[in-house]
Amino acid sequence: MTLLGWAQIALVLASVIACAIPLARYIAAVAAGRVTFLAPVERAIYGLAGIDPARGMGWKGYTLAMLAANAVGFLILYGQLRLQGLLPLNPQGFDGIAPWLAFNTAVSFTTNTNWQAYSGESAMSYLSQMWGLVVHNFTSAATGIALALAVSRAFAAGALKELGNFWADFVRMNLYVLLPLAIVVGLAFVAMGMPQTLSAYIEATTLEGAVQTIPLGPAAFQIAIKHLGTNGGGFFGVNAVHPFEGPSALATALQIWSQAVIPFALALTFGHIVGDVRQGRALLAVMVGFVVVATGLIYAAEAGGNALHLAAGVDPTQGNMEGKDVRFGMALVALFTATTTGASCGAVNAMFDSFTPLGGMIPLFLIQLGEVLPGGVGSGLYGILVFALLAVFVAGLMVGRTPEYLGKKVQAKEVKLAMLAVLVLPAAILGFTAISVVLPFAVSSIQDAGPHGLSEMLYAYTSAAGNNGSAFGGLTADTPWLNTTLGIAMLLGRFAYIVPVMAIAGSLAAKPKLAVSTGTFPTHGPLFIGLLAGVILILGGLQFMPALALGPVAEHFVLAAGKTF
Amino acid sequence: MTAILRPAISVVVILTLFLGLAVPLAFTGIAGVLFPAQAGGSLVERDGKVIGSSLIGQSFTSARYFHPRPSATTEPDPANEGSTRAAPYNAAASAASQLGPTSAALLEAVTERVATLGGAPVPADAATASGSGLDPHISPENAVRQIARVAAARGLPEARLADLVARHTEGRELGLFGEPRVNVLRLNLALDALR
């Protein structure tokens, strides 16, 4: 670790937070319908779709509308992928995507996971990338933000029956938040070297006379929304480590900014919606704290290098370079890794599978903590609010008072629903991993022997259920078993989580908002920040300790003992 | 049911056409006008022929050229259907080794590279495969270690090559971000242009 490295980390994080502050206010204004510069487009959509944007929806109506939009989106994407071979803008002549892979990919992009069992440049036509995947990069992100807005509104006032209009929230987040940011960031990405063209791949004759096929495509715009929407699905196979997808250290820094700025801003937007900005700052403090600690741990582990390789004669200056490109440097790899897994993005600018055991455990653990640090766009906010409810519940148990959060009484019903939501992740991750490591045809997908093999399988289900999408790439994921079960894990992680959370929102919205009294536990101070961090760490972390001990921790000690597999 | 399905289908179809076709196509047009070189893949030409992209590494094995990092990319094996064979810097299929930190195969490969490169200590980027398999850069230390070999193969004084490498060493971006590095394709092009 170097001072220069930490300066890079500090500068990027500072610019994220500096931009998140005004963006938070802007998102709150968009959510309230006060931003109207695309009003004609907006009105045209409402008119064609028969939507009254002013009509409020209860939690059930809101959830049903959201599920309908996602179901339709899923079916259309599945069709687009299957029919790819018959459609235009396919200069490389790729065939339609096979059924299991199309199912997996459609689920993956609908749920904002962007797990990829295919490699972009050798499977996807330009048309599929644009009107299939780009669209879902937008809509799955807008879905997340809309849900976060609905949940936030439940705390805004007493005796609410309605949480907003899903269609209005959904359309406005696409048009006013995601689209302008994607255009600006996308153009910056082109300037930095990302391709944006419909030309076919280029056949170059290299200096030594060999033929090199250089893939191209409309990449920059998709990459912009892939990060801004915390989607993470790469245009090219190796994601942001591909020189066209991460052409420079500045580009990787802007990608880090893009994948963190909206999730961080939404924590502050929550403060604006509930009318108390300190509440948003407390959530932000927890998120930033975890990201900084995780970045430091990854940075230390990777900069320290692989002890086996150092003993074999590798110079220790650069650290563990297997699976990493030269241009980014270890500090930006560490910050990128912490934000992409903390923020449920899933893009990678280095290969986690070749990280040192502890360096690879941190991204795995960040996802297992529930994707709330800061979590995906929207999903991070409603996720951390669930933990906030559990934190005040724990505090209430300690002092023997009925817990309240922002003046709303948290009672048995909400706590049960919160636990239901929190248990989805461990059930999906540990359940599917346990089944897969005893099925011979599933185990055959594992590349590495020893504890690392378990880590590969554990990471896959963690990534899917956490809607992250990053991978320990050694796993051969394009098999019927993995495509199907990972698809199911993604659906559980997204929708089986959202429904109880929306039920909590509906239940809390209807309650009166109690005035602050001397007995109220303040939820904006350091005590609450510490309590919330503790609840996330204990609740999220303890469930996975045995699995982590068998995977990365065991591998760390095995490596220290000089053993290979 | 239609009360839910009509808005769902209409909104998704409209957004598919707007965000998936209209906007990306317009964006492609604008990007091509503003930044034609980058939008087209940062292609490098010599004598009117495309010889590669300055962002995409390519394979160099001759002693007369500076060598890039090890690459784990593969291509379909014509002799054995369904399997692949090593094909370094195959840009049509970016890939990393994905070998874990305790992989015996990885340790063996690293040990072999250290031996081939003349023994310890070898710069880490020369002993390990990149993440993309297409890394266009090597570290300045890696380039400096290759000067003697290239100079001997070309019959050029080492000092001249040291000067060339120094001129092709790019510093940190904005003086802060990333790492110092040498673009192998650009360096080798300059090498060919030396008289």
Tell me if A121 and B31 make a contact (CB, 8 A cut-off): no
Same domain, B107 and B175: yes
B86 CB within 8 Å of a chain A CB: no
Say what percent of chain A tops pLDDT 70.
Answer: 100
Q: Are A519 and A138 in contact (CB under 8 A)?
A: no
Whole-angstrom distance, CA of residue B61 vs CA of residue B55: 19
The pLDDT of residue A44 is 95
In the three-class reduction of DSSP (H, G, I as helix; E, B as strand; rest coil), residue A547 is classed as helix
Residue B195 has pLDDT above 80, yes or no: no
pLDDT at A269: 97
Q: Which residues contact A528 (CB under 8 A, 6 or more apart)?
A: A282, A391, A395, A521, A522
Determine contact, residues B125/A321, Cβ cutoff 8 Å: yes
Give the model's pLDDT for residue A541. 82
Q: Is residue A116 part of a domain?
A: yes
Query: CB contact, 8 Å: A402 with chain B?
Result: no
Q: Which of A273-276's residues contact partners 24+ apart within 8 Å by CB, and which partners?
A: A273/A28, A273/A31, A273/A149, A273/A152, A273/A153, A273/A155, A273/A156, A274/A152, A274/A155, A274/A156, A274/A406, A275/A156, A276/A406, A276/A524
Do B128 and B94 have their domain in common?
yes
Interface of A with B in 146-175 (CB under 8 A): 167, 170-171, 174
Q: Does B171 touch chain A (CB under 8 A)?
A: no
Structurally, chain A folds into a number of domains equal to: 1
Classify residue A196 by its DSSP letter. Answer: B
In this structure, is residue B167 part of a structural domain? yes
Q: A527 lies in a domain?
A: no
Q: What is the pLDDT of residue A401?
A: 85
A531 inside domain: no
**Interval B154-171 mean pLDDT:** 97
Strand partners of residue B181: B170
Range of A35's domain?
3-205+212-277
Output the pLDDT for position A520: 86
pLDDT at position A409 is 94
- Strand segments, DSSP code E, in A427-471 are none
pLDDT digits (tens, 9 = 90+) for A144-164: 999 999 999 999 989 999 999
Examine the domain organization and report whether B18 and B66 are in the same domain: no
What confidence tens digit (pLDDT) does each residue in A18-70 have?
999 999 999 999 999 999 999 999 999 999 999 999 999 999 999 999 999 99
Instruction: Judge residue A553's burial from the number of C-beta atoms within 10 Å of its C-beta, 0-12 exposed, 13-18 middle, 19 or more buried.
Output: middle
Chain A residues in contact with B110 by the CB 8 A cut-off are 309, 312, 314, 322
Residue A435 has a pLDDT of 96
Same domain, B35 and B68: no
Q: How many CB atoms lie within 10 A of CB B74?
A: 16
HEC string of chain B? CHHHHHHHHHHHHHHHHHHHHHHHHHHHHHHHHHCHHHHCCCEEEECCEEEEECCCCCCCCCCCCCCCCCCCCEEECCCCCCCEEECCCCCCCCCCCCCCCCCHHHHHHHHHHHHHCCCCCECHHHHCCCCCCCCCEECHHHHHHHHHHHHHHHCCCHHHHHHHHHHCEECCECCCECCCEEEHHHHHHHHHHCC
At A385-443, the pLDDT tens digits run 999 999 999 999 988 888 999 999 999 999 999 999 999 999 999 999 999 999 999 99
Q: Is residue A144 within 8 Å of residue A345, measured between CB atoms?
A: no
List of chain A residues whose C-beta atoms are within 8 Å of the C-beta of residue B98: 323, 351, 353-354, 447, 472-474
Which of the residue ranges A514-523, B30-39, B172-181 would you say has the lowest mean pLDDT? A514-523
Beta bridge partners of B49: B46
Q: B84 - beta bridge partners?
A: B76
Instruction: Please tell me whether residues B164 and B182 are part of one structural domain.
Output: yes
pLDDT at A473: 84
Q: Does residue A214 have a pLDDT over 90? A: yes
- Averaged over A257-277, what is the pLDDT? 96
List residues bridging with A211 in a β-sheet: A205
Place of tokens 């899903």: A166
What percentage of residues in chain B have a pLDDT greater than 70? Answer: 100
Query: With 90 as the cut, is the pLDDT of residue A281 above it?
Result: yes
A326: closest CA among B57, B100, B98? B57
Which domain covers residue B26, as residue numbers? 11-39
Same domain, B23 and B51: no
Q: What is the ipTM of this complex?
A: 0.97
> Chain A: residue nearest B4 by CA?
A65
Query: Using an 8 Å Cβ cutoff, are B176 and A8 in contact?
Result: yes
pLDDT, tens digit, 9 for 90 and up, residues A450-489: 999 999 999 999 999 999 999 898 899 889 999 999 999 9
Question: pLDDT (tens digit, 9 = 90+) per residue, A178-208?
Answer: 999 999 999 999 999 999 999 999 999 999 9
Average pLDDT, chain A: 95
What's the mean pLDDT in A89-100? Answer: 94
Rg of chain B, C-alpha, whole Å: 22
With cut-offs at 50, 70 and 90, classify the pLDDT of residue B132.
Answer: very high
Q: Identify whether A112 is part of a domain.
A: yes
The pLDDT of residue A212: 97
- Does residue B130 sit within a domain? yes
In 3-state terms, what secondary structure has residue A248?
Answer: coil
3-state secondary structure A295-345: HHHHHHHHHCCCHHHHHCCECHHHCCCCCCCCCCCHHHHHHHHHHHHHCCC
Q: Is there a single domain that holds both residue B74 and residue B106? A: yes
Q: Which amino acid is at A356?
A: T
B132 shares its domain with B152: yes
pLDDT at B119: 84
Please report the sign of the dihedral spanned by the C-alpha atoms of residue A100, residue A102, residue A103, residue A109: positive
Q: What pLDDT does residue A365 have?
A: 95
| Cβ–Cβ gap A242/B132 under 8 Å | yes
Distances (CA, A) of A11 to A5, A272, A286, A558: 10, 26, 19, 37
Residue B134 lies in a domain: yes
The reply to whether B3 falls in a domain is no
Do B96 and A186 lie within an 8 Å CB cutoff? no
Residue A266 pLDDT > 90: yes
Are B165 and B150 part of one and the same domain?
yes
Q: Is residue A239 part of a domain?
A: yes
Portion 88-147 of B in contact with A at CB < 8 A: 89-104, 106-107, 110-111, 114, 119-125, 127-139, 141
Q: Is the predicted pLDDT of residue B31 greater than 80, yes or no?
A: yes
The answer, for B76 touching chain A at a CB cutoff of 8 Å, is: no
Res. B2: pLDDT tops 90:
no
Question: Is residue B56 located within the same domain as residue B17?
Answer: no
**What pLDDT sits at residue B125?**
97
A425 lies in some domain: no
B contacts of A328 (beta carbons < 8 Å): 178-179
Q: What is the pLDDT of residues B41-50, one digit of tens each?
A: 999 999 999 9
Cα dihedral A373, A379, A385, A388 sign: negative
- Closest partner residue to A45 among B14, B106, B135, by Cβ? B14
Strand partners, A202: A214
Q: In this structure, are B22 and B66 located in the same domain? A: no
Whether B5 is in a domain gets the answer no
Count of structural domains, chain B: 2
Write out the two tokens for A377. 């766009």
